[in-house]
Every structure is written in structure tokens, then in C-alpha cells.
Structure 1
Amino acid sequence: MGYAGDGADKEGLAPQAGLTTGAVARRLGVSPTTLRSWDRRYGLGPASRAEGRHRRWSPRDVAMVEEMCRLAAAGAPPAEAARVARLTHGERVSAASPVPRAAAVPAGVTPRRGGPGGGLPLGDVRQECRGLARAAVRLDAPELASRLLDAVGQHGLIGAWEEVMVPTLRAVGRKWESSGDRYVEVEHLLSWQISTTLRRANLVLPHAADPVGGDPVVLACVPGEQHSLPLEALEAALEGQGVPTRMLGAAVPVEALLACVRRTGPAAVVLWAQSRSTASMPLARHVGDLRWGPAGARRRPLVLPAGPGWSRRTAEGFLRCTGLAEAVRTLSTLSGADGAVRRPSPGRD
């Protein structure tokens, strides 16, 4: 990471001074609150303050917290990582007993590739993904919660899901698959924090619509399917449009799904399948054939197979949406959230 020692810097560098806390936080992918916490707990703060008690970070200060990030991402306990970071960069060491660079990784910790995302295979992604990945690897739940809500506020729910949450989840999943049983705790914590953020998203978004009347949309994972986060994102986005929903969640038994459809008379039923082994066209057809209402005016739901488990061939004859935004537009129209109720053809009785 480069560092300019003089001149003005748009990232928070004052003339002839160091970086501001905000600028250091942006460069490292952590929050200013985290840096202040490290200063209070471990003494990893700037050595000097400008007039007005503003904190300014020198090159040595920045190198010290960079080392803290690297060691924490490698799995070192925070206190031990801070101790080594101070010895390596923060405290002056005599020439007679220098601390070698190789000794910077505490005993018993297997080094991992540092850099953006703490070694996760992120690729070309938004900067927010890198900060999320670092927080996930550190198992820093408060930092994850703060960053996820910030992403929703900045990009909106759909943008945050597609451009920040999903790329980070995929990176963690790839790392888990290539590392045996490692990183399971990282994926679980990240998934839980994303799920929590999706449920809270419409509390922080300023333009969430009021609920509209009309028939709801039923959201369910097919039997045997445990991956419900995409459905949670869809439910949150529909809620933001005022669309009533009935979320059934993961691995819904067939009879429970059919009972819900019969009792609620939904405008549409979304069936999520993450893998081809769980996608069931007989189930989709059965749900689509359910009818209710008086003779001559019977209705049935539109069935929307969703997820990578449904191939174009197996889902032939059913409506497909290419992404979250298109699904929200389609389902909003069916439920009348756009002001025009349009129901699918009832078919033959």
C-alpha cells in the first residue's frame, strides 16, 4: 500500500501531516470504529495528534494496523496479533535484538495469503466486498452488521444483494470447498448476518412502500433444499414494494406447501431450488394445477421456478426471471402492487 508523506491528499491527508482515521479505515477495509477500538484495547493508534486533537496516522502507524489486519486474517487471536504488530512496527526494537519478519506470525497459526479479503478469492468486485470479507474472516459480527446495512443504504436492497452480498458469499463458498472443513464458521456467520440484514433492510430504507391489499406471493424452498437466503432477499425486496408475502423458508414438505397454497389463494408461488437434485417439475406442475374459487371463476397461481437448480429445459412452459429485479417487477404486477392486478389464465377446469 502506497503512502504519501507530503502534500495534500483527497483521501484525508493534510499537508505535512498523516492520514485521518477515516482515510486509514477506507484503505484497510475496516470501519473507523474498529480502528478506535484497537487503539483503546491494544494501543494500535496514531502516535501524534494534530491541533484540535485530530488523530493523524504516520506511515509507521498505518503499517502497524496493516500487520494487525494480516495476522487477524491469518487466524491469530486479536490480542496476540496486536502484540506482534506493535513489536514489528509500533515499538522501537534495538539493533542487537531485532524482531525478524518471519516471527510476525504467532506460533501455531498457519499463515494465509493476505491482501484484500483476507485471502478469499474475490476477483473483480466492489470495495465493499473486500471489507466484508475481512470482517467475515475475523468473525467480527458487529463490523459485518454495520457494513451490510451501509451497503443497503448506499446501493438499495437489490443492488446490495447482487453486487455486495452475493459476490462475498460466493468467495467464502469457494474458499470453503477448497479448504476442507475450514471456513465453515466464516460462511455460517456471514450468512446469518446477511439474513439479519435482509429482515431489517426496510427499516433503514427511506422509501419502503406500505402494504397493499390483494393476493399474496408464497415463497418456499422445494423439499430437501436448505438454501433460503435468495428467497429472503426476494421477500425483503417485495416487502419494500408493498407486496404481501408468505415465507415458508427452507425444505418445505410437499403437503405443507400445498396446504398453504389452498388456504391463502396466492397470486404466485416461487419455488426455489439451488441444485438440480432438488428441483422437481412434477411438484411445480402440481402446484400450478391447484384451483380454488366458485365454479366459472376458479383461479390458480402462477408458479415461478427460481434458482440454478431449474434448467431451461426442465422449466419449459413456466415463467422464468433472470434476476432479483425482474422477479420483483413480475410479482409486483401479479399482486397489484403496481396498481394493475393481472392474474394468469385460469386454464381448463
Structure 2
Amino acid sequence: MTQSEPLPTESAPSEQSASSAHGLTTGAVARRLGVAPTTLRSWDRRYGIGPAAREDGRHRRWTPEDLAVLHEMCRLTSSGIPPAEAARAALAGPASAEAAPPAAPGPLPPPGRRPGSGNGLRLGAVRQECRGLGRAAVRLDAWAVDDLLGSVIAQYGLVTAWEEVMAPTLHAVGRKWETSGDRYVEVEHLLSWHVSSALRRAAGPPPVVSRSAAPPVLLACVPGEQHTLALEALAAGLAEVGLSTLMFGAAVPPEALDQAVRRTGPAAVVLWSQGRSTASPALARHVADTAWGVKGARARPAVVPAGPGWAGQPLAPGTVRPGGLREALTLLRGLCDAAAGAGTGPGSGSGRPGVRDQS
């Protein structure tokens, strides 16, 4: 089903016949665009983005021309342009957009000086794409969310898109939910699903041959941890540089993690913890002590505790906790290169420097 098709309800045929004769009602337009009816009324009242005709002088009826203006309004606000400015451009029509020369690709512009918001989200001084993503998510505009995520990744790269657009918007939605009772849960679920989908598209299929022939990087959330999006971003980033990964996702039981390490002989094991209640230094030490290989040249994985839950936790000497996605990618590339040079793996006869066990 495309965004422009009516929902398959019993009233759909009558809406179609009404649209052909009199135009669409505000409710029908809202369903088509994934926008709340109150948003359409607000745009009409504040910016004049409304139907050209009103049946009997009262009931709003939206024509195809009105819908074209609305589509442009949604597109512009989802790209981060403030609603008032977006309304002026949408009402001016495509001629004004064609007259302007296309912008050359380049780095993200600096964050705005004024605190921005996404329809009630407290975002602070952030990129305009972040504000646009917040607005689209609060409107439950799935098409705009998906389109914006894809364009940001394509234009600025995965790391910048995650650190400067996706993660700040997810945090803002989470804060809004926590401070609004049970409201905005649907916004968080919609945004999380589309972010996950965008990250998986960016990762693509697993590489047939690793760039360095290194053992894989094993990615797992610690037991009790359900937040996986940051780990999915790391998986996509590793795939982007040609490193193979094994993603085990949320709340991996200790026994399953132990078996996975012994069976695959990974170059590194990333243990993600979002909150202090799930971080387990004992589990990290156990994984770091898990060995494989022949006697006299057994190998052990490098353990990388990742996520805010590990802050302040007692970690083994020499353990590095990366501060963000970019730092984690640099660290793991180095570990994979070292593993490839040492030829480690379950069945190889040598261990990596620093993790070789002579027992």
C-alpha cells in the first residue's frame, strides 16, 4: 500500500466517490498523509494551507491541487524547515523551487543557534534535519520519516546521520514519553522501527568476503537489555567498512553468549548496556576469559563494553569503553586487523597479541 492510497476500511469507497465529485474531507486527507486532522486545521488557520473550496461554506473539501500543496508542506517541514517558511514555499508552488539553483552536496550545516523543536519535542540547538525528523515522527508521517532517514544517510554518511540526527531525535522522543505519562509511546515505536529499517538497509547483506579476512565481531546486548538501536548502528557501520559481524540482538542469555564465542572465535565481543542496572562486569570478565584453539596456543576475544550503562563500572585492566559510534568503529577495525594478522579463529593455532593463552 502506498502513502496515497486510502486505508482499506468500509468507508473507503464512499470517500473515493466523494473525492471525485466534491474533493476529500479533512479526515480522509489526514489518513492519506499520516497527519493528524488537528495539524491540518492548524496549518490552515496559521499559514493559509487549506482547501480552496468549502462545501456549503462550512465543510472543507480538499482538491488534488490542495493535496499537492500539502505534500510539499509535509516534505519541507520533514526536512527541518520551520513551518512558517515551509508554508510560504509550498504556497508559492514549484516555480519558486525550480528557479533556485540546486545546492551542492557538502557537510552538514552547523547546528542552529536557536533551540529548535519537533512539534513539542525538546531538542535544543540541533541540526535542522533533526527537527524535521522529530516533526515527522510526532505527526506519525511514516513516509516522511523513512524518506528523511534515507536521504540523511545517503548525503552525510552513516556515522554523522546516527550521531547528529537519529540519536538526538530518539532521545528527545524518549524524554517526551517519560514526562508525558503513556503519551507518545506510538511515536517512539514508529521512529524506532523506521530507524532500525534504515540502518539495516544501510548495512546491506553480509559481506561474502571480509575486507581483512578477520574473524567476525560479535554484537550482543547483555542479559536484560532490550535497547538494540545503537548496536544496529554499529553493525551497519562495520558492514560499511567491510567487516563481518554476528548480531545477536537483545537480552542474550549468558549461556548462549558463551557458546557463540566458543563456536565462532570472534575478533571482539561488543556487550551493549543502556542502563547501569543491566551492565555486568562479571559477564564481561567471563567472556574475556573464554578461550578456544589448541593447547599451548589458545586464543581469547577482546571484550568491548559499549553503552552508557558501563559508565563508572569496574572494568578489567586494559579494557576500552568507546565513547560513541565513530570511536567504536576505529577501535574495532584495529582489533580486526590485529586478529587477521594473527590468524585467530576456532581451529587456528595462534592467538592475537595480548590475548594469547599458553596453557
Task: State the TM bucket, normalised to the shorter chain.
Answer: 0.5 to 0.7
Query: What is the alpha-carbon distance in structure 2 between the residues aligned to residue 286 and residue 338 of structure 1?
Result: 20
Alignment of 1:292-331 (within 5 A): 292-317=292-317, 318-331=319-332
In the alignment of these two chains, the number of paired residues is 264
Which residue pairs with 1:162 in the alignment?
163
Q: Which runs of 5+ in 2 are unaligned?
A: 5-15, 20-25, 59-82, 84-115, 343-351
Quick one: which amino acid aligns to residue 154 of structure 2?
G
1:19: which partner in 2?
none
What's the CA shift for 1:336? 2.3
Asked whether 1:218 is paired with 2:218, we answer yes
Distance in 2, matches of 1:84 and 1:273, equals 41
* Aligned residue number for residue 82 of structure 1: 40
Q: CA deviation at 1:334?
A: 1.6
Deviation at 1:247, TM superposition (A): 0.5
**Structure 1: runs of 5+ lacking an equivalent:** 1-33, 36-40, 44-67, 99-113
In the TM superposition, residue 230 of structure 1 has moved relative to its aligned partner by 0.7
- Match for 2:355 among 321, 345, 348? 345
In the TM superposition, what are the counterparts of 1:199-218 in structure 2 within 5 Å? 199-203=200-204, 211-212=210-211, 213-218=213-218
Q: Secondary structure at the match of 1:263?
A: helix
Decide whether aligned partners of structure 1 residues 263 and 275 sit closer, same or farther in structure 2, where only a CA change above 3 A counts: same
Cα offset, 1:92, TM superposition:
8.7
Task: Return the alpha-carbon distance in structure 1 between the equivalents of residues 51 and 135 of structure 2.
Answer: 25
Structure 1 pair 142/92, CA: closer, same or farther in 2 (3 Å)? closer
Q: CA deviation at 1:295?
A: 1.4
TM-score under structure 2 length normalisation:
0.65
Shift of 1:345: 2.6
CA offset digits 1:152-195 (Å, max 9, x no partner): 11211011000000110011011111100000000011011000
How many angstroms does 1:239 deviate by? 0.6
Report the alpha carbon displacement of residue 202 of structure 1 after superposing the two structures with TM: 4.0
Query: In the alignment, residue 127 of structure 2 is paired with which amino acid?
Result: R
Q: Which amino acid aligns with 2:180?
A: S
Q: Is the 8 A contact 1:209 1:241 kept in 2?
A: no
Counterparts in 2 of 1:209 and 1:337: CA distance versus 1, 3 Å: farther
Q: Which amino acid aligns with 1:195?
A: S
Whole-Å Cα distance in 2 between the matches of residues 321 and 142 of structure 1?
34
Aligned amino acid, residue 40 of structure 2? A
Is 1:142 the counterpart of 2:143 in the alignment?
A: yes
Deviating more after overlay: 334-343 vs 298-307: 334-343
User: Hey, what's the Cα distance between the residues in 2 that align with 1:165 and 1:254?
Assistant: 30
Question: Aligned partners of 2:182 and 2:353: how far apart in 1?
Answer: 47
Q: How far did residue 210 of structure 1 move?
A: 6.2
Query: Among the aligned pairs, what percent are the same residue?
Result: 54
For residue 86 of structure 1, report the CA deviation from its aligned partner. Answer: 4.5
Partner of 2:253: 253
Matches of 1:228 and 1:77, distance apart in 2:
28
* Counterpart contact for 1:243–1:337, Cα < 8 Å: no
Q: Give, in whole Å, the separation in 2 of the partners of 1:246 and 1:121.
A: 36
Aligned to 1:124: 125
Deviation at 1:203, TM superposition (A): 5.0
CA distance in 2, matches of 1:297, 1:316: 22
Question: What is the Cα-based RMSD across aligned positions, in Å?
Answer: 3.5
The whole-number CA distance in structure 2 between the counterparts of 1:311 and 1:301 is: 21
* Cα distance change on mapping 1:217 and 1:133 into 2, 3 Å: same
Structure 1's 255 and 127: CA in aligned 2 closer, same or farther, altered over 3 A? same
The answer on whether the counterparts of 1:209 and 1:242 sit within 8 Å (CA) in structure 2 is no
Amino acid at match of 1:274: Q
1:86-122 superposed Cα distances (whole Å, 9 cap, x missing partner) = 47734799xxx99xxxxxxxxxxxxxxx984101001
TM-score, normalisation: structure 1: 0.67
Which letter maps to 2:131?
R
Residue 119 of structure 2 aligns to a residue whose secondary structure is: helix
Question: In the alignment, is the contact (CA less than 8 A) between 2:137 and 2:145 conserved in 1?
Answer: yes
- CA distance, structure 2, for counterparts of residue 250 and residue 203 of structure 1: 20
Residue 260 of structure 1 deviates from its aligned partner by 0.3
